[in-house]
Amino acid sequence: MADNSSKLSGTERAAVFLMSLGDDMAADILKLMGPKEVQKIGGVMAGLENVSKQEVTSVLEEFAQVVEDQTALGIDAEQRVRKMLTRALGEDKAGGLIDRILLGRSSKGLEALKWMDPRAVAEIIRLEHPQIIAIVLAYLDSDHAAEVLAMLPERLRPDILMRIASLDGIPPQAIQELDQIMEKQFSGNANVKSSSVGGLKCAANILNFMESAIESEVMESIQDADAELGDKIQDLMFVFDNLGDLDDRSIQALLREISSESLILALKGAEEVLKEKIFNNMSKRAAEMLRDDLEAKGPVRLSEVEAAQKEILAIARRLADAGEITLGGSAQEQYV
């Protein structure tokens, strides 16, 4: 790929490519994406400016090369996915991931929820049994689930998080109740034994995305009700300063996806160790400019700092889910 295109992030390259297509074709491609992908790429598309002809050409050439390298894979894809993931991750770990991929793909009801405004989702589920609410939130992306949970009654939040943490599968009866809430039918196998969603990590991820004040209240209530469960959730929570545990390659990949303004705001509340880690993974000139910007920024609201940190954590988790970086710290398994 040409040097000009390499200056663009992956999302920017995708946006340039879509903008190069006709409106109808671009719309057809966007229909196949998830809500978070559409929102991210759409935002970049709306902000595109001063894209040179050479950059567009480079992006299109890269796409043509990728297509040329593709093969006619896809026959009996579901079984192959099951076998490959089970072999790569082991039966226990692969089970939950396979359920999310295959059940989520066939479930119009759950997919529809992901596109809905958090307030609308909260209105739909607020009167349901806490166990049903827990199942619904466990299926949503963690940041989306956190927004929905914040809009539910305060007294319900700790109970729901504890139920999410305790989930180790969804029995057929629970799926039937979920169907009634959504007024849609899953197209998957009705005889499935269970779908592995929820769990301690899911609960910790949702808490990570909540406002700090609400997060503290919920954790305090959980600790009061079940100290052991609270400790387990706390151990799995990944906070902003844990980014200091990332390796240099992961830090550099993360920095390519973060806007300068978000990074400056987030670092205003970061520990010095993390700041130095960031500086050491930038060019000397870029690090000096960032130091100057931090000093010139002056005092900022704590809420703005926390929002920027959560935004960066969301990007880090997305990159980790895509296998582009490896998260370190207490939220990640240890390898030997």
DSSP secondary structure code for residue 323 in this structure:
T
pTM more than 0.85 = no
Residues 108-154 pLDDT 10s? 555 667 777 788 888 878 877 888 888 888 888 888 888 899 999 88
- In angstroms, the first-to-last Cα distance of the chain is 37
CA–CA gap between residue 40 and residue 315 (Å, rounded): 11
All structural domains of the chain, each given as residue ranges with its CATH number in brackets, are: 3-69 (1.10.220), 107-236 (1.10.220.30), 240-331 (1.10.220.30)
Residues 307-321: what's their mean pLDDT?
84
- Give the separation between CA 317 and CA 325, rounded to whole angstroms: 9
The confidence band for 103, taking pLDDT boundaries of 50, 70 and 90, is: very low
Question: What is the tens place of the pLDDT at every residue in 322-334?
Answer: 778 877 543 344 3
User: Looking at residue 335, what is its pLDDT?
Assistant: 38
- Segment 33-37 mean pLDDT: 71
* pLDDT tier, 192 (very low <50, low <70, confident <90, very high otherwise): very low
Count CB-CB contacts under 10 A for residue 255: 16
- Of 34-43, 96-105, 255-264, 299-308, the one with minimum mean pLDDT is 96-105
- Per-residue pLDDT at 281: 92
pLDDT exceeds cutoff 80 at 195: no
Closest CA to 240 of 265, 203, 213: 265
Distances in Å between the Cα of 64 and the Cα atoms of 59, 61, 67, 79 are 9, 5, 5, 29
Whether the predicted pLDDT of 24 surpasses 50: yes
At CB < 8 A and 24+ separation, what contacts does 150-157 make? 150/118, 150/210, 150/211, 150/214, 151/118, 151/119, 151/122, 152/122, 152/125, 152/126, 153/126, 154/217, 156/130, 157/214, 157/217, 157/218, 157/221
One-letter-per-residue 3-state SS of 198-258? CCHHHHHHHHHCCCHHHHHHHHHHHHHHCHHHHHHHHHHCCCHHHHHHCCHHHHHHHHCCC
What is the pLDDT at residue 295?
87
With 60 as the cut, is the pLDDT of residue 288 above it? yes
For residues 322 and 142, what is the distance between their CA atoms, to the nearest angstrom?
15
CA distances from 115 to 33, 96, 131, 303 (A): 11, 22, 22, 26
Find out whether 163 and 155 touch, Cβ atoms under 8 Å: no
Distance CA 320, CA 178 (A): 30
**DSSP per residue, 266-308:** HHTTS-HHHHHHHHHTS-HHHHHHHHHHHHHH----HHHHHHH
Residue 107: pLDDT band (50, 70, 90) is: very low
DSSP state of 7: T
- pLDDT reported for residue 105: 45
DSSP state for residue 329 in the 8-state scheme: G
- Highest mean pLDDT, choosing among 63-72, 94-103, 130-139: 130-139
Greater model confidence, 33 or 252: 252
What mean pLDDT, rounded, does the chain reach?
Answer: 74
Arithmetic mean of pLDDT, 89-98: 56
Q: How far apart are CA 171 and CA 11, in angstroms?
A: 38
pLDDT of residue 193: 39
pLDDT on residue 202: 78
Question: How far, in Å, CA of 87 to CA of 79, rounded?
Answer: 12
Return the pLDDT at 178. Answer: 67
How much is the average pLDDT of 311-321?
Answer: 83
Structure token digits, residue 175: 């799926």
Confirm if 255 and 263 have CB atoms less than 8 A apart.
yes
Structure-token pair, residue 45: 């598309």
Write down the pLDDT at residue 217.
85
22-45 CB burial, b ≥16 within 10 A, e <16: eeeebeeeeeeeeeeeeebbeebb
Q: Do residues 58 and 5 lie in contact, with contact meaning Cβ atoms separated by under 8 Å?
A: yes
Q: What is the pLDDT of residue 184?
A: 44
Q: How confident is the model over 207-254, as pLDDT tens digits?
A: 877 777 788 888 888 888 888 888 888 777 777 888 888 889 999 999
